[in-house]
Structure 1
Amino acid sequence: MMKDIVVAGVGMVPFATPRRSEPYDVMAAAAVRAALTDAGVTFEQLQQAFAGYVYGDSTSGQRALYRVGTSGIPVVNVNNNCSTGSSALWLARQAIAAGADCVLAFGFEQMERGALAIKWPDRPSPFADFMTVAEGSNGVSDAPFAAQLFGGAGTEYAQRYGMAPETFAEVSVKSRRHAARNPYAVFRDELTAAQVLAAPPVFGPLTRLQCCPPTCGAAAAIVTSGDFARRHGLRTDVVIRAQAMTTDRADTFGGSLMELVGAGMSRRAADDVYETAGVDPHDLDVVELHDCFTTNEVLSYEALRLTPEGTAEKFIRDGDNTYGGRVVTNPSGGLLSKGHPLGATGLAQCAELTWQLRGEAGPRQVDGARLALQHNIGLGGAAVVTLYEKVS
């Protein structure tokens, strides 16, 4: 149990397309300053910092943080693909559990235009085993590699459970509807299912409007011990109640594309969190989950135990994934609409859920939110699941 680890402050900048982005260090510094202000602590009170980013030179974390201050604290740079931001948060939480009092986790990304690609073709790829499994199922394709993996997983799910293409499209419709209320989101124009389905095809059931865009942005969180927060008169109303990180097992590569893209990792991390906290998934009020593609949002509903296996289509069609339903998923708009700057994503999820639990989410507020779950995955692989609680 980790009831005394406090999220004292959060901050982020509006996410942007690569054409409209500021440099990574400018964005990151702004997010850190916002989190410090929100927490009511000074830079000098920070004892450690964990900087998450995927695309950038070594020590980019120091470059970004030095724009805010140079106090000599340890700065650790973190790269865990799309779960990088949550991995930085996981390390910050561990630091507090080990005895630190005030730790910064921040993440940023200055991405290039276009789909994700292998950056270092002159050396062994961390995705080689993933693509071997995917090509054994789907054949060789020139589609972007992430779309092959997640699109193939969606095809497998649809074949197993009978999911209609229109239902996958409804995930994008819901995402845009939520993002329309979020000033930090990149895409806030609402869509219809017909528009989503008419967009250019990418792979399997995926069209372009079912794939998260390359995005730039930054987000940050100040994590403290409860004792530190109380001594300094900080907010103590949002705590990390449980957290787990998992990586791949041998069965990831057993032939199922659903397992290949992290369903098993997510399920094990979520189960660990629920058991540690003594919480039933049906007790959750709000969830920010890893919807890099519509297909992965569908898989994640079941991996996180929000709905039983094979029932995601009913869950979506009954509106149980949105306001007025059983649990509001991705009120921020998620990766699909808010955007997915890889290093910042997990910390942006943390910011959204902190605002939700405080009752500060404005027009996207989930009424009475007290338990919030965060889910962030990175292929290669790592899954981080974090449970937040509002306490009086």
Structure 2
Amino acid sequence: MATATETDAMRRAVALSARALGDTAPNPVVGCVILDASGTPVGEGWHQRAGGPHAEVHALLAAGERARGGTALVTLEPCNHTGRTGPCAQALIKAGIARVVYAVADPNPSASGGAATLRAAGVDVEGGLLAAEAEAVNIAFLTSVRLERPYVRWKYAATLDGRIAAADGSSRWISSAESRADVHRLRAEADAVVVGSGTLRADDPHLAVRGIDGVTQPLRVVVDTRAVITPDARVLDDAAPTLVAVGKDADTAHLPGVDTVALPYGPSGHGVDVTALLAALHARGVRSVLLEGGPTLAGAFVAAGAVDQVVGYLAPALLGAGPTALGDAGISTIAQALRLDVTDVARLGPDLRVTAVPTATAPQES
């Protein structure tokens, strides 16, 4: 059974893993802390980017010989395969680690089996320590493996009466500067930011991350069924990569040099198929999506069962008219309502940020 010292070290490893959110796709975020034989922390690290050393390797390098006979706390079961880097299970064995405690078992068949390899080499292995905390940080990777699609976080800003714009279409700024800065944090943690053509026409958004140094810019995705986007759209500049998703028979001749993907139409015959869009993004290595689209696109994602988390920024203001945050989502009666579990409520300047997940996928208490 894990000791209090090991629990503290695992909590540190979880915090370390979060430093790489948005930087490691298609790989997971992982943190590792090494304790020497007496239980003193002697090394730590995290997986910083795809193709680079894994968390265990960084931590072992920091610990050096002090790792021998010690304990490794890792947020994800050490990998057991050779890709662009070697298997971490073997690195731990070679370093003389006597005990490995991991939080979450690796669901990826090509990388799992590290725990068994360690046990076969005589290493004491324990799993499940702070599993809920580690899973919450690494939910994008875990979702992508389990569902074979990216994890989708839908973000919107609205007044207390649920309006995302006034009757005349004006929407800047409903939310506060503090809320808008927080949105850039969410963008920085995502692999792709997705908007629809309605948002494109109304706001001409840029979608790149601002105000955060050293960030890996997410892929900017415009869902533009009829390819109405023009070459001078701000989202087509070189600040970040951009993908325009269009209907299967859309004419894109006016977009030379623009990365496009043609997709089938959705079940209603309007808009692109959300499942096909997510499959295309997954094939490109996208593991987390920040959905910033307007009510029509948000409704299509909800109808497709493809929203894993909702983040609503609620401003203390009333409009009384204007578009609402969510459009038609195929819900016609109260019995069909998508029920949510609120997982966090925070004050950001004058606004409230409410975070919730669909009840069926709400995380369990640890």
The two structures have a TM-score, normalised by structure 2, of 0.27
Structure of greater relative contact order (alpha carbons < 8 Å, 6+ residues apart): 1
Name the one with the larger helix percent.
1
**TM-score w.r.t. structure 1 length?**
0.26
Q: Over alpha carbons, which structure has the higher Rg?
A: 2
Relative to its length, the structure with more strand (as a share) is 2
